[in-house]
Structures are given as C-alpha cells and as structure tokens.
A and B are shown apart, each in its own frame.
Chain A
Amino acid sequence: MPTSLTLPSRPGCARPNVIPWLQPAPALDPARRLASGFHELLGAAAGDEALALGFAFSLAARASGGTGKSLCFCGAGGEEQERGQLYGHGLAALGIAPDRMVMIAAPNEKDLLWTLEEAVASGAFGAVVGSLAAKERHYSFAASRRLKLRAAAKQTPLFLLRHRSCGGATAAHGRWRVSSLPSRSEGAHAGYNLLGPPRLRLSLERMGGLPPQEWEMELDVTRDFDMAALLENRPARKAGKRRRPAA
C-alpha cells in the first residue's frame, strides 16, 4: 500500500493539514523568527488592530513562555475610548495570565518611546509590547535603533504595533502585516454560521534579505496559542503584484 505524505483531510472538518506551530516550515519558520528580537506588527485594514494586538500578546507570551516573567504593555494614554482598553478576562482567554501583565499609559509618543526603552532595558520583563499612535512624530530610524540595541542587550523581545499607514525604514528585525480572515465555520444555528477559531494571514513585509512571504494561521483556542497552526505555506507573490487588502 503506497504511503502518502499528506495527511488525509477529514470531510466536514475545517482543519486540514494542521502543522504544529513549532515545527519548522521548509522555507522560513515565522514562529522561530518571531520568538526573539524587535518586530513591528501592522494591521492590514481598518479594524485589524485588535487582531494584531492579540497576535502580539500571543507572541510575547510564547517568547517568554518558559521564564514565567511578567509582560509589559505600553500604550498611548487618553485613547481608551478610541482604541479600547485591555480587558483582563480577554487576555486570560488568550492563555495569558493577567497577573503577569503590567500596563503603562504614556501621555505622548516621546514618553511612550522612553517607556518602551526603559521597559526593555530594565530586563524585568519576558517581553514588551508597545502600541504607537496613528500619527508618528518621533519614531524614527534612530529611535528604532535605540530600541533594537536595548532589546538586544537584555535579550527582551519587543513587539511594536504601528498604524497600518505607517512605513519607512526602521531598524526593526522584521515588519509583519496581520490581516483577519473569515473563520472556518463549525456548524450553523438558526440561520447563522457559528464561529470557528480565529484565522489570520501573516505577511512578512521586510526582514533582512528575505523575500516577502505569506502564511495563514489559525488560533487553536482549545489549547494554547503556541500550538497555533500554520495552515499553508505558500511561495511569495511577486512583489509588484501584491494584492491590496480590502479596506
């Protein structure tokens, strides 16, 4: 009987070819790349911010997983209504103990960058997540380089969320774009499809010498995010023909 290398896909089940998160992918393993260093995360379209933040927290928790160290989140103060406020139970639902979390609300971008630098340099945290405001005034190549050096000195992973419209050259190890994908429904009830595990498309935009690539991921809520599955691993599209995400 011939053996097949692909796993049989179960009819009716929405999880074909689930490859565990930690298993290295042939070309580039995003899990390994995102486990350390200084990375920028951007949403692809309006409304992807919560997803990008949740993904960043999962990465932070994963990166500091074994150490049991606290996590630090630095955001802009005074934007709670506009962007929402972190909710303890929601964090717990992602598999992150809320008591590990220290949150800082900085009144302006300068203070936010200072706080990030201090948080990374303190060496007290397993990982640091920052969220910049839509309008960046002080986040420059020099500022990003300072952050990178500090993060490297204390080996603290740093994930910085930026607004989807931001770009430019920075010293970050990688820049990733996160966009939400419709989940695979797991049944219907009274005319509505039920929610499957959240799915996202992760695109590598820039990382020293690597071509842009895309992955689709699914958050495995029954276990932990660090078991999240890498669904597909496709070769990159041609750079010029990259599809604009729908707004």
Chain B
Amino acid sequence: MIAKGKGGKRLLALNAAAREAGLRAGMLVTDASAMLPSLAVAAHDSQAEWEELTRLAASCNRFSPWTAPDEPDGIWIEATGLAHLYGGEEPLLYAVLGYLHNLGFAARGAIAGTAGAAWGMARYSKAVATSVPPEEEARAITPLPVKALRIDPDSAALLNRLGLKTIGQILDIPRASLRARLGKAITCRLDQALGKQGEALSPLMPEPVYAARIEFADPLTVFEGLEQTVRILIGSVAEKLKADGKGARRFSLMLFDTQNGSTKLSVRMAKASCEAKHIARVFKERLSALEGRFDASLGFDAAALYAMRAEPLQNQQTDMLGSASDDGGDGERIAQFLDRVTARLGEKAATRFAFEESHWPERASSHAPATASAQAAAAPALSLPRPLMVLPRPEPIAVIAVVPDYPPRKFVWRRCHHTIARAEGPERISPEWWRGEEKAPPARDYYVVEDEAGRRFWLYREGVYGKSEHQRWFMHGLFP
C-alpha cells in the first residue's frame, strides 16, 4: 500500500513478508524497491477503505448493536451488558477477533472500561487481545507509549523529545504544566482514558436497551426457519422487557449473512409494547412483505433483535376481577390494529383527522398519521355547510348560463352535464392575509348546489364578481 508523502511516494502499510525483508512504513518506495526488488505496491484509496471499514463495523452489529468505525483502521464496539451472552469478556473478544480473522483481516482487540484505554491497549499492547479488568485502566496503560493516548503525532514527537516515552511517565507530571506546554487535548485524552471524563462516540445504530441474538451452526436458508428464529428472539426480548415493566416503541431485527453483509428490518409501535404475541404479529406483516424477495442463497448465520426507545409501561387499569377495563382495552386494540396495518402498508397508510383554526377549507381539516398521536383532536364547531368529501385539488368546471352574483344554471364537470335545481350561498372565504404568502389565492365564493337528480356539490367562484373579467368556477367537494 503506498501513498503520496514527503519527498515522493512512501509506504503506508505492508504485509508480514515485506516486514520480514526489513521494510518499514514511511519508507520511500524507491528505497524499498532497492531493498526488495520483488516488492508489489498498490495505491491507497482512502475513500474505499473508509467505506469498507464502515461496512465491517455494520457487520459487527452481530456482536453488539452499538458499533462505529474509527478512522483510519479501528472499529468501536460497545460491549456493556453483552459479555454474559458469551460467558465473559475474554470469550467475547476472541469471538470478535475470530470473526474478523475468518474474514481475512489481521485484527487486534482490547476490552476496557473506557474507550481511551481500549483504543490504546488494542493498538499498542504486546498481546493481540487484552481484557482490562474494571478500575485497572491506569495500571494497564502505564507501560504504553504516549502515542496510545490518541494525541496528534506532533505532540507525541514533542513528548518523546522531552524524554517522556510512556504514559506512566506523563501520569507523574502535574496536570497544569502539561496543559501549559502541550495544550488541553492531552489532559483531556488522559482523563478520558482513565475514566475521569466522559466521552461521546457516534454509533451506527441508536443505543438499544434490550437485545437478544442467535447464531446458527449452519447458515439459515429457508424462510420458515427465519420466522421461527424471529419468534424465539421476540420471546426472549419481550421477557426481558416484561421483567423490568417496560415496553419498547421500536424493534430492529438484524440478519447477518455469511458474506458479511447485514439486513435490517425495523418496526415502529403506536404504543410501547412488551407483548410477544403482538410484536410477533407486527413482524409477521413485515416479514410477509419480505417473503417474495427473500434471497437466502447466501444464508444467514446470525440474527439479533434489539428493542429501542424502551419506556416504562403505564399500568393498565384493571377492574376487581383483573381484566382490563373496556375503555383502555379498545385503545389498546386500536393501537395494535394500527401497528399491524402500518407494518404492512407503511406509516402513512393510517390517518386521523387533524384540525386547524382556519377558514381556508384546505387548512381547516387535514389528515395526520394515526400513529403519531394516539388520540385525535375534536373538530372545532362549524355551523356552515361542509362537504363529506373534498377534492384535494379543486377541479375547474365549465359553466353555462351565468347569472350575476349567483351560481350558474348549468355546469359541466368530468364531461357530465348538471342542471342546478337548488342552491344556497354564497359563503365568501378569503385567504388569510396574515400568513404573508407571496402568491395568496383569490377569495372564493362558495355555493352548495343540488342538481336535478338530487346530487349535491360544493362549487366556488374564484375572485370577487365584477372585478375580474373571466369568472373561473371550480368543483371542490361532494355532499351526501
């Protein structure tokens, strides 16, 4: 691997064979070729490398829901609360390294109580895999070189020139003088490594609280097996949630295939839930949508279910016999119905009415997603006639025999002629000037008309009669 450096192309990374031949990273390619004539070099593509690293980090979701790529060559994995799934921190670490090794990567790793200590131990510890016991970060990082503190190379070089080679030596120096000479970054990194200061890392997935995972000895290739797996995972997560009296609003199912790719299926709940049966039914809708294009030719070798946005469940009101009261039961049933519908048809499929204090018909009543608010608002009272159905975009109609200031005698809508037998109106609705719209629509004069067959329509004339030469008429709604 080579890249442009000072004085020409320099070696950036090299394999074991090249290292044995005495080559070192940072050498000029010309010097290296002289030492090892058979040297094969390849240009470094940082973008592709970053993408590969991100993909690899995502595939490590099989171990933990919280993973993040760390430029240029690391992956963060949050291991809190996961070690027991593997029987300890060290087995977990070996599982991760073994997985990466099987993919053809030479990997080193460390588990520690702080991100800083883990970073340093993974890169500069003598062992390939290190697990730092709790509260022993300071002792563990003492022998490491100062580079292990995640400080910039210039500061590290300066410390080396001052004779400070290891972190242990820096620890003995008073903080104030360190900060005065080398800036705030170094004390900050030191505190982070020792756990005296928190650190925010950005994960690829939002943090879950409850998780379950399954690994298969043989890759899973049949859809029925997948359904079975999902049921088991849901059962286990739901049990954990229930034990804590919590429910989750979001569930993510991750499927990991043997080619180190991953598939994610998420479902959102209208209400936090920990009912395994209900969650399974919602997932069933998502899975049935997947069934048609289920491509398991590669096979899945691991699956994980993460519950996110867990929140305490409000206790359901029960009567003396212990059964849920009817009122709460209906709300619950509607929420469960909506969960199934939105899982199958999409978030926008279910709506309720939303009202706004406005005279403008398009604004006064609209449709809002039903999952967003469990309870819809009541309609503001309006004694004026309003149609049962409105056309989202009013349609122009041709009018015949126009009577001044009254609705026409006849009109043509969608190629059908209608003769108006009865009418009421006008009701003038003006645009709301206080909204400051640049192109405010003209005022409308609305009429309710009934044709000879008894069908009722909501028509309007655009503009004020007499002011504009062309009167334009529109169909806006239908009455029962």
Cα separation A196 to B381 with both chains bound (whole Å): 22
CB nearest to B407 among chain A residues: A192
| Residue from B338, B349, B353, B375 in contact with A88 in the complex, judged by beta carbons closer than 8 Å | B353
Nearest-Cβ distance from residue A245 to partner chain B, whole angstroms: 9
- What is the 8 Å Cβ interface bit string for chain B, positions 359-397, against chain A (1 contact, 0 not)? 001001101001000011111011001111111110000
A55 within 8 A of partner (CB): yes
Cross-chain contact B480 with A55 (CB below 8 angstroms): yes
B478 within 8 A of partner (CB): yes
Cross-chain contact A104 with B345 (CB below 8 angstroms): yes
B403 within 8 A of partner (CB): yes
Seen from chain A, the residues whose Cβ lies within 8 Å of a Cβ on chain B are 45-51, 53-55, 57, 69-70, 77, 80-81, 83-94, 97-99, 101-107, 111, 114-115, 118-119, 122-125, 180-183, 185, 190-196, 198-200, 219, 246
Q: Nearest 5 pairs between A and B by C-beta?
A: A54-B480, A84-B389, A124-B333, A88-B365, A180-B454
B416 within 8 A of partner (CB): yes
| Residue from B330, B382, B479 in contact with A198 in the complex, judged by beta carbons closer than 8 Å | B479
| Residue from B337, B345, B456 in contact with A124 in the complex, judged by beta carbons closer than 8 Å | B337
| Residue from A50, A69, A115, A199 in contact with B478 in the complex, judged by beta carbons closer than 8 Å | A50
Cα separation A229 to B225 with both chains bound (whole Å): 59
Cross-chain contact B455 with A180 (CB below 8 angstroms): yes
Seen from chain B, the residues whose Cβ lies within 8 Å of a Cβ on chain A are 330, 333-334, 336-338, 340-341, 344-345, 348-353, 355, 361, 364-365, 367, 370, 375-379, 381-382, 385-393, 403, 406-407, 416, 420-424, 448, 450, 452-456, 477-480
Cα separation A80 to B364 with both chains bound (whole Å): 17
Cross-chain contact B379 with A98 (CB below 8 angstroms): yes
| Residue from B340, B348, B480 in contact with A219 in the complex, judged by beta carbons closer than 8 Å | B480
Cross-chain contact A198 with B365 (CB below 8 angstroms): no
Cross-chain contact B450 with A182 (CB below 8 angstroms): yes
Cross-chain contact A50 with B479 (CB below 8 angstroms): yes
Cross-chain contact B353 with A115 (CB below 8 angstroms): no
Q: Known: A103-B352, A122-B337. Contact between A85 and B389, CB under 8 A?
A: yes
Name 6 interchain pairs, CB-CB below 8 A, sorted by A.
A93-B385, A102-B334, A115-B345, A182-B453, A191-B406, A198-B454
Cross-chain contact A77 with B422 (CB below 8 angstroms): no
Cα separation A86 to B353 with both chains bound (whole Å): 9
Cross-chain contact B364 with A90 (CB below 8 angstroms): no
Q: Known: A53-B388, A91-B388, A93-B386. Contact between A198 and B480, CB under 8 A?
A: yes
Nearest-Cβ distance from residue A27 to partner chain B, whole angstroms: 25
Cα separation A103 to B337 with both chains bound (whole Å): 12
6 new A-B pairs (CB below 8 Å) besides A84-B391, A104-B351, A124-B330? Answer: A51-B455, A51-B480, A85-B390, A90-B477, A122-B334, A193-B421
A88: B residues at CB distance < 8 A: 353, 355, 364-365, 379
Interface of B, helix, strand, loop or mixed by DSSP: mixed
Cα separation A122 to B350 with both chains bound (whole Å): 15
Cα separation A80 to B389 with both chains bound (whole Å): 9
Cross-chain contact A183 with B450 (CB below 8 angstroms): yes
Cross-chain contact A122 with B333 (CB below 8 angstroms): yes
A125: B residues at CB distance < 8 A: 334
Q: Known: A98-B379, A122-B336. Contact between A50 and B367, CB under 8 A?
A: no
B424: A residues at CB distance < 8 A: 194-195
Cross-chain contact B330 with A87 (CB below 8 angstroms): no
Cross-chain contact B423 with A94 (CB below 8 angstroms): no
Interface of A, helix, strand, loop or mixed by DSSP: mixed
Cross-chain contact A70 with B455 (CB below 8 angstroms): no
**Interface centre among A88, A105, A199, by most B CB within 10 Å?**
A88
B365: A residues at CB distance < 8 A: 87-89, 98
Cross-chain contact A103 with B350 (CB below 8 angstroms): yes
Cross-chain contact A183 with B454 (CB below 8 angstroms): yes
Cross-chain contact A92 with B478 (CB below 8 angstroms): no
B376: A residues at CB distance < 8 A: 98-99, 101
CB nearest to A58 among chain B residues: B480
Q: Known: A50-B480, A90-B388. Contact between A70 and B450, CB under 8 A?
A: no
B407: A residues at CB distance < 8 A: 192
CB nearest to A185 among chain B residues: B422
B423: A residues at CB distance < 8 A: 192-195
CB nearest to A111 among chain B residues: B345
B389: A residues at CB distance < 8 A: 50, 53, 83-87, 90
B385: A residues at CB distance < 8 A: 93
Cross-chain contact A99 with B386 (CB below 8 angstroms): no
Q: Known: A70-B334, A104-B341. Contact between A90 and B387, CB under 8 A?
A: yes
Cross-chain contact B403 with A106 (CB below 8 angstroms): no
Cα separation A246 to B376 with both chains bound (whole Å): 41
Cross-chain contact B453 with A97 (CB below 8 angstroms): no
**Interface centre among B330, B340, B382, by most A CB within 10 Å?**
B330
Nearest-Cβ distance from residue B439 to partner chain A, whole angstroms: 22
Cα separation A227 to B479 with both chains bound (whole Å): 19
Nearest-Cβ distance from residue B209 to partner chain A, whole angstroms: 29
**Interface centre among B345, B364, B386, B406, by most A CB within 10 Å?**
B345
| Residue from B349, B392, B393, B479 in contact with A77 in the complex, judged by beta carbons closer than 8 Å | B349
A89: B residues at CB distance < 8 A: 364-365, 379, 382, 386
B367: A residues at CB distance < 8 A: 85-86, 103
| Residue from A80, A111, A192 in contact with B422 in the complex, judged by beta carbons closer than 8 Å | A192
Cross-chain contact A183 with B379 (CB below 8 angstroms): no
Nearest-Cβ distance from residue A45 to partner chain B, whole angstroms: 7
B388: A residues at CB distance < 8 A: 50, 53-54, 57, 86-87, 90-91, 93-94
Cα separation A97 to B391 with both chains bound (whole Å): 21
Nearest-Cβ distance from residue A17 to partner chain B, whole angstroms: 20
**Interface centre among A98, A192, A193, by most B CB within 10 Å?**
A192
CB nearest to B375 among chain A residues: A99
**Interface centre among A80, A90, A97, A182, by most B CB within 10 Å?**
A90
Cα separation A54 to B392 with both chains bound (whole Å): 18
A185: B residues at CB distance < 8 A: 422
Nearest-Cβ distance from residue A202 to partner chain B, whole angstroms: 13
Cross-chain contact B453 with A47 (CB below 8 angstroms): yes
Cross-chain contact A94 with B349 (CB below 8 angstroms): no
Cα separation A204 to B351 with both chains bound (whole Å): 33
Cross-chain contact A195 with B450 (CB below 8 angstroms): yes
Cross-chain contact B406 with A69 (CB below 8 angstroms): no
| Residue from B349, B379, B406, B448 in contact with A195 in the complex, judged by beta carbons closer than 8 Å | B448
Cα separation A21 to B23 with both chains bound (whole Å): 98
Cα separation A105 to B347 with both chains bound (whole Å): 11
CB nearest to A48 among chain B residues: B455
| Residue from A57, A84, A104 in contact with B349 in the complex, judged by beta carbons closer than 8 Å | A104
CB nearest to A97 among chain B residues: B378
